[in-house]
């Protein structure tokens, strides 16, 4: 069987980069997509171009280590180069996202899994005091871009001939199920993603394509560092105590669950939200 093709949106660092690496290690061809540049509406940095290059290099090393599937570039050097590509695209821009998906399909002959990890955070004040530009950034990236990714990406998953094992996975958050003060817009967007994905699962009935969300708790990435700043905490480590596991979650631990859902063995799981939250939501 030829390798599965997975597209990871927001793969420049953090959970997305860990997911890309994990998928390549188990033999998928992987397309990493990230805006790789800052969003002027937000007061913290997004992944940079060098972050995206680093994530691509790590994913290529993982593809090379996967070995058995070969690296597919026909030159037999096993370096993983053409099983893994990175593209710059802003997921809130439908034309850019569409072009990235077209490139993935053309390059690898189709798409089997789309994982939306791109996300931003803003808040730190009650909703009614939140600057409009920050509100728009949260709703556009955390909710509208997931809707766009589904509208543009699911037709690509459907273009695979039946019987399919297509997968649409969006990263939501514990914020989807808990009312976190000073993060109301983020909570609204993430709850929207869970609702959206549940409905997609019903719409995808009988297609062989599943739709799921993964909801991390406090995970050691740049978003959590920004959350600590929003709450005036000394560092992200302060969030560890609120989780029953009494530590932060590693991005690789979230990636492991996403990778299972993105694989061929998860066909009986659809419309579900999967907490990887160290018990934060209980
Ligand atoms: N870290 C946590 O504690 C935590 C908890 C719950 C949910 N999440 C969610 O996990 C997902 C991944 O976040 P992370 O923790 O790895 O943080 P992160 O900031 O390290 O990663 C987010 C990535 O998304 C990219 N991105 C942002 N806007 C984009 C856009 N418009 N187009 C393309 N790429 C864009 C960034 O450049 C970055 O590479 C997010 O959806 C986040 O909301 C994180």
What does the domain layout of the chain look like in residue ranges?
5-276
Task: Please tell me whether the peptide bond between 208 and the residue prior to it is cis, using omega within 30 degrees of 0.
Answer: no
CATH classification of 5-276, choosing from 3.20.20.70, 1.20.1440.230, 3.40.50.720, 2.60.40.1080? 3.40.50.720
Residue 226: CB within 6 Å of ligand 1?
Answer: no
118 CA → ligand 1 middle, Å? 4
Q: Tell me which residues of the chain have a pLDDT lower than 70.
A: 1-2, 68-80
- The C-alpha atoms of residue 226 and residue 244 are separated, in whole angstroms, by 22
Query: What is the reported pLDDT for 77?
Result: 62
Backbone angles phi, psi at 183, to 5 degrees: -135, 35
pTM for this predicted structure: 0.97
Residue 67 has a pLDDT of: 80
Q: Could you give the count of Cα atoms lying within 13 Å of 164 in the half-sphere of its Cβ? A: 25
Query: Residue 239 CA: which ligand 1 atom is closest?
Result: 3
Q: Is 216 in the pocket of ligand 1 (CB under 6 A)?
A: yes
Q: Which of 163, 70, 171 is nearest to 112 (CA)?
A: 163
From atom 32 of ligand 1, which residue's Cα is the shortest distance away?
A: 90
- For residue 81, the model assigns a pLDDT of 76
Long-range contacts of 146-149 (CB under 8 A, 24+ apart): 146/116, 146/170, 146/192, 146/193, 146/196, 147/196, 148/91, 148/92, 148/94, 148/97, 149/9, 149/91, 149/97, 149/114, 149/116
Identified catalytic residue from 16, 186, 248, 258: 186
Q: What is the pLDDT of residue 68?
A: 45
Whether 186 is catalytic: yes
Ligand 1 pocket member 80 (CB < 6 A): no
173 Cβ below 6 A of ligand 1: yes
């Amino acid at each position: 069987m030829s390798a599965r093709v997975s597209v990871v949106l927001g793969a420049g660092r953090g959970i997305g980069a860990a997911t890309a690496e994990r998928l390549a290690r188990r033999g998928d061809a992987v397309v990493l997509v990230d805006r790789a540049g800052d969003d002027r509406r937000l007061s913290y940095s997004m992944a940079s171009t060098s972050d995206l290059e680093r994530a691509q290099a790590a994913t290529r090393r993982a593809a090379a280590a996967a070995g058995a599937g070969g690296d597919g570039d026909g030159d037999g050097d096993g370096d993983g180069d053409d099983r893994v590509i990175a593209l710059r695209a802003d997921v809130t821009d439908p034309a850019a996202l569409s072009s990235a998906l077209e490139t993935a399909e053309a390059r690898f002959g189709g798409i089997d899994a789309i994982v939306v990890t791109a996300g931003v955070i803003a808040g730190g004040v009650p909703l009614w005091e939140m600057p409009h530009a920050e509100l728009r950034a949260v709703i556009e990236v955390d909710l509208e871009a997931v809707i766009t990714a589904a509208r543009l990406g699911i037709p690509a998953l459907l273009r695979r001939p039946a019987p399919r094992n297509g997968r649409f996975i969006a990263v939501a958050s514990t914020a989807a199920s808990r009312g976190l003060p000073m993060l109301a817009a983020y909570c609204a967007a993430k709850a929207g993603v869970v609702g959206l994905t549940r409905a997609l699962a019903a719409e995808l009935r009988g297609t062989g394509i599943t739709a799921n969300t993964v909801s991390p708790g406090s995970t050691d990435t740049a978003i959590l560092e920004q959350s600590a700043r929003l709450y005036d905490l000394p560092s992200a480590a302060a969030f560890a105590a609120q989780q029953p596991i009494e530590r932060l979650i590693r991005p690789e631990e979230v990636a492991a669950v996403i990778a299972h859902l993105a694989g061929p063995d998860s066909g009986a799981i659809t419309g579900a939200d999967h907490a990887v939250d160290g018990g934060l939501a209980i």
